[in-house]
Structure 1
């Protein structure tokens, strides 16, 4: 510290001391008793006054409503939960209830096998037994200490009564199907209403899970009737699912119909119940997607609707194997249209919309594969990829761009496998049907368009950058574009002359067209780096094709035409491009 800075600090300290003394002198003091005041000599002052002491500031208290954030309590392990007081009683009660439900199911099955009593006494005995359990549970619920047992007893009784209704409808055929479903809806709805009144998600989940788990035993496997009874459980649980955030209930009510419908489809292919099974699969999809939409509208952050909107559509897609081709493709198309419409709704949560869109893309592909065959299928898949790329740019959704890339990759593999195989480009394919050549020409053209549109869309969405920074995607797209263009030219040449002459002529045109395209890119890209780079790369590709393929595969006039045409175009390109570059430099430097 310099001398000037030290002197300035001392002056500031003296000033603060004088201010403090002035404030003390202004404070009135009480009058002292009269007494002679001795004459005192002033105390010697130090050469430098002491520095002012810091005045303590009052602590700022937090507002009374504020409290420091508390860390979340640690999650209890399973052993800690079991070690709590009363955990053993809960475990015993619910295990006992589960065993009792299984006992009721085995009793009903055994009564059929052994012929115990008649259908009506069996149904009445099951209903009376379940009613007694429910009554005991209602009575125990009045005492707070007995409510654990009350929940278990009521859940057991309601599940037993619902299974009794299934048995009366499916096993004994005492009730017609529609009546059994209505009675089952009343039983399940009453039990779930009681669970909501008692505010017990465990009771609600226990009722639905027990009924869903034991129902296949009483319906003799996975049948359309089983799917119907499971959908009744889902319908009964939907009002509670919309009002209460009980994920366990949503899973217990939504997953079993999906699994049962898929299993029923696998066991009823070619049977008289195929149409009924497909109808149940469609109903499962409609109810599942509808409930998922209602739930996500009420609770946008809920994860369960995201899973259910995707899973609910699979039974309908798998059920297409039970239907004839036109109906199956129409069903897959309707599912695709519905889910893609959800995907485009702007105010739906992004995870929910993305889940619906992913399954919608799968349904769209399935509808295309079922409806079409051969090379026309490949062209349509590639056209869908192009459309999805434009949709991605329009809606600014990268998920659509990913779907476009997936569709395009599948279309490329299908093109290489059948529509325009590489052997057509490497060797004379011999006789090819006119229809296949036309389809190949269209497919190759759409493939080339896709190869140009995809990087453009990726650039618009900031997924890839210019070729100088991200060259790999652009190089891959360029290779696919060249393959599509070459396939288009060769198919067109073979249409004009379906023999080796057409093959040789087509390759000559391909080589010359590559050089012409390179010239256009260089001229257009004199101020645009990506176009200029693409033009130079295309020049290199044309030269490599001349030396590695045309020189060996072509002969006679075709080889001469390829070399002369490419050489003249390259000479023209070099001359024209050099002139443009020179004029650009002159304009930039201001020469006349």
Structure 2
């Protein structure tokens, strides 16, 4: 026996096993196709009978054998005998008979319901495509050229080369030559990538040349330099829109934003102004082409530059110029956000980012101004943002909500800068009350959100400064003012108005269905009313007798309000629920607070009056329920007619 005979036997066995596995795989596939996906009524047609074991061909019977002989038990045969073994093929069926393993008639299922995933080519392959290397080299060359122009301008000033006018003329001539070269190369479709790089480099060189002429050489006033820069930026970006080449516009703005600080003596208001000019130049492009990336790269640099400029202005600089440049960045950023939203309602992220960052520049710049100047600046920002918030008919919901949040922050900022002391909390609560009434009048949820945020700030400031939590406790010698009573009254009104308006606008449900907001509003209302009554009583009598009288009035007033709500709640489950909660609060106050804090006649009056009122109210309530009226279960939309 030679060495090749065992290898031949092993090859024959592996071939035999492979054929058996192939046959088993075919049977499993046919069985899977024959299995229905779900139980269904029996078809009217005669189902096809499965083939019997005897009728199946030998090739299909061989996989059904109970065992396979061991490889070492086969007799030794030559290679030709092993390789000449018959290979079972597909069963031969007569032309008149269907295949025995064909699936029954019925719906056929596709073998693959999902498209085949084609992975992207690797980076070396993409870079190896025709023209890819030339694009990379062209844009890298443009970036290096732009940086070299900036370094040349700075070095020419330091070394005194030529004069200011020749430097500007050389830079302008180079920029025009690059743009002309880009226009010439663009005529040939094969050189479009090089044309884009040439034109973008020329536009950036012209823009930076004007910035250098305005800031470094002072050859023209700032307003004239900004105007010429606007014309250059607008024309260059419109060229990118005409060629439908977004990368030109993005590259020009990024390159100019990175190189501008070298030509404007660092972070100054003039730098912010030149970056705002780029923003304005991008606005017509946004009207023609909806390019979110262009809006972002044009809107973020002015805000960042304004923040850094404000930090430097706190030490030295002109605060008014810094604030003016920051306000311009805010206004233009908001305008671009609105344009992006109107142009593309599907893009939610870009306008929200622009709208959330644009007001930050002006609000932070207020720290470099006096209190009155910062207040007026915040008022302008608040009016701008709230104006955007009420335009929910044309703008998307995320944009209006973001504008409402930023508008309320600006309102709070203006109030905190304009006023001091307790009047800050009073004014914030008053502004929240006005905003919620305006929201109810014009039916704008954004205004309701702004009123809620302003009310939260006013409430927190009031609890900290004006009406502290310890007001309900007697503190000998504590000073009470009219502002304390007024703050408590405004807390009560705001806590009543906001949930009611939200309920009328279908923002929240009734107390029986959505109890959380009503409970929070009820707690604020009770505290505000308690503070207002107690502060008034202490203003009349600033000793312990005023404190006792005030808490007696509070307990009785809570009980009266609970009874009124219960009587009105015969036909409203929401009022009935609030009334029952207020009854529980009155009883808890009687037992936990009045019993320990009050003494003498005040304690007796509080318990007697509250108990009698609750007794009479319970009797009257039972009679009303029995003798008539309609009890509505608003949580389940069920109305029960009570028989007379």
| TM-score interval for Structure 1 and Structure 2 normalised by the shorter chain | 0.7 to 0.9
Provide the rounded CA distance (Å) in 2 between the counterparts of 1:263 and 1:383: 35
Provide the rounded CA distance (Å) in 2 between the counterparts of 1:484 and 1:77: 67
Partner of 2:195: 150
| Preserved contact between residue 489 and residue 528 of structure 2 (Cα < 8 Å) | yes
Provide the rounded CA distance (Å) in 2 between the counterparts of 1:528 and 1:419: 36
Partner of 1:521: 565
Give secondary structure in 1 for the equivalent of 2:130. coil
Matched, 1:206 2:251: yes
Show CA shifts across 1:500-534 (max 9, x none): 22112211211121122222222222332222222
User: In angstroms, what is the RMSD of aligned CA positions?
Assistant: 3.1
Paired residues, number? 520
| Preserved contact between residue 428 and residue 499 of structure 1 (Cα < 8 Å) | no
Partner of 1:336: 382
Structure 1 residues 73, 531: CA separation in 2 closer, same or farther (over 3 Å shift)? same
Structure 1 residues 180, 78: CA separation in 2 closer, same or farther (over 3 Å shift)? farther
Provide the rounded CA distance (Å) in 1 between the counterparts of 2:476 and 2:122: 69
| Preserved contact between residue 292 and residue 305 of structure 1 (Cα < 8 Å) | yes
| Preserved contact between residue 508 and residue 561 of structure 1 (Cα < 8 Å) | yes
Matched, 1:170 2:215: yes
1:206-355 paired onto structure 2 within 5 Å: 206-269=251-314, 271-294=316-339, 296-301=341-346, 303=348, 304-345=350-391, 347-351=393-397, 352-355=399-402
Partner of 1:100: 145
| Preserved contact between residue 206 and residue 232 of structure 2 (Cα < 8 Å) | yes
Partner of 1:465: 509
Provide the rounded CA distance (Å) in 2 between the counterparts of 1:552 and 1:297: 63
Tell which deviates more after alignment, 84-93 or 132-141.
132-141
Partner of 1:485: 529
Structure 1 residues 327, 139: CA separation in 2 closer, same or farther (over 3 Å shift)? same
Shift of 1:590: 6.1
Structure 1 residues 590, 519: CA separation in 2 closer, same or farther (over 3 Å shift)? closer
Shift of 1:152: 1.2
Provide the rounded CA distance (Å) in 1 between the counterparts of 2:451 and 2:497: 10
Show CA shifts across 1:294-345 (max 9, x none): 5544555555445434433332222222332223222222322233233223
Normalised to the residue count of structure 2, the TM-score between the two structures is: 0.73
1:551-562 paired onto structure 2 within 5 Å: 551-562=595-606
Structure 1 residues 242, 85: CA separation in 2 closer, same or farther (over 3 Å shift)? same
Q: 1:367 aligns with which of 409, 414, 429?
A: 414
Structure 2, unaligned runs of 5 or more: 1-43, 45-113, 632-640
Tell which deviates more after alignment, 405-414 or 499-508.
405-414
Partner of 2:454: 407
Partner of 1:28: none
1:372-521 paired onto structure 2 within 5 Å: 372-428=419-475, 430-433=477-480, 437-521=481-565
| Preserved contact between residue 496 and residue 502 of structure 1 (Cα < 8 Å) | yes
Provide the rounded CA distance (Å) in 2 between the counterparts of 1:224 and 1:119: 23
Tell which deviates more after alignment, 400-409 or 327-336.
400-409
| Preserved contact between residue 307 and residue 355 of structure 1 (Cα < 8 Å) | no
Structure 1 residues 245, 465: CA separation in 2 closer, same or farther (over 3 Å shift)? closer
Structure 1 residues 305, 74: CA separation in 2 closer, same or farther (over 3 Å shift)? farther
Matched, 1:531 2:575: yes
| Preserved contact between residue 439 and residue 445 of structure 2 (Cα < 8 Å) | yes
Provide the rounded CA distance (Å) in 2 between the counterparts of 1:560 and 1:190: 85
Shift of 1:81: 4.7
| Preserved contact between residue 81 and residue 87 of structure 1 (Cα < 8 Å) | yes
Structure 1 residues 228, 445: CA separation in 2 closer, same or farther (over 3 Å shift)? same
Normalised to the residue count of structure 1, the TM-score between the two structures is: 0.79
| Preserved contact between residue 158 and residue 207 of structure 1 (Cα < 8 Å) | yes
Shift of 1:93: 1.4
| Preserved contact between residue 270 and residue 322 of structure 1 (Cα < 8 Å) | no
| Preserved contact between residue 474 and residue 544 of structure 2 (Cα < 8 Å) | no
Give secondary structure in 1 for the equivalent of 2:506. coil
Provide the rounded CA distance (Å) in 1 between the counterparts of 2:357 and 2:609: 58
Provide the rounded CA distance (Å) in 2 between the counterparts of 1:458 and 1:540: 25
Provide the rounded CA distance (Å) in 2 between the counterparts of 1:513 and 1:137: 82
Show CA shifts across 1:2-46 (max 9, x none): xxxxxxx9xxxxxxxxxxxxxxxxxxxxxxxxxxxxxxxxxxxxx
Give secondary structure in 2 for the equivalent of 1:188. helix
Partner of 2:105: none
| Preserved contact between residue 436 and residue 448 of structure 2 (Cα < 8 Å) | yes
Structure having the larger proportion of residues in helix: 1
Give secondary structure in 2 for the equivalent of 1:106. helix
Structure 1 residues 356, 409: CA separation in 2 closer, same or farther (over 3 Å shift)? closer
Structure 1 residues 207, 73: CA separation in 2 closer, same or farther (over 3 Å shift)? farther
Structure 1 residues 554, 470: CA separation in 2 closer, same or farther (over 3 Å shift)? same
Tell which deviates more after alignment, 94-103 or 236-245.
236-245
Provide the rounded CA distance (Å) in 2 between the counterparts of 1:71 and 1:355: 40
Structure 1 residues 583, 238: CA separation in 2 closer, same or farther (over 3 Å shift)? closer
Structure 1 residues 246, 123: CA separation in 2 closer, same or farther (over 3 Å shift)? same
Provide the rounded CA distance (Å) in 1 between the counterparts of 2:407 and 2:534: 36
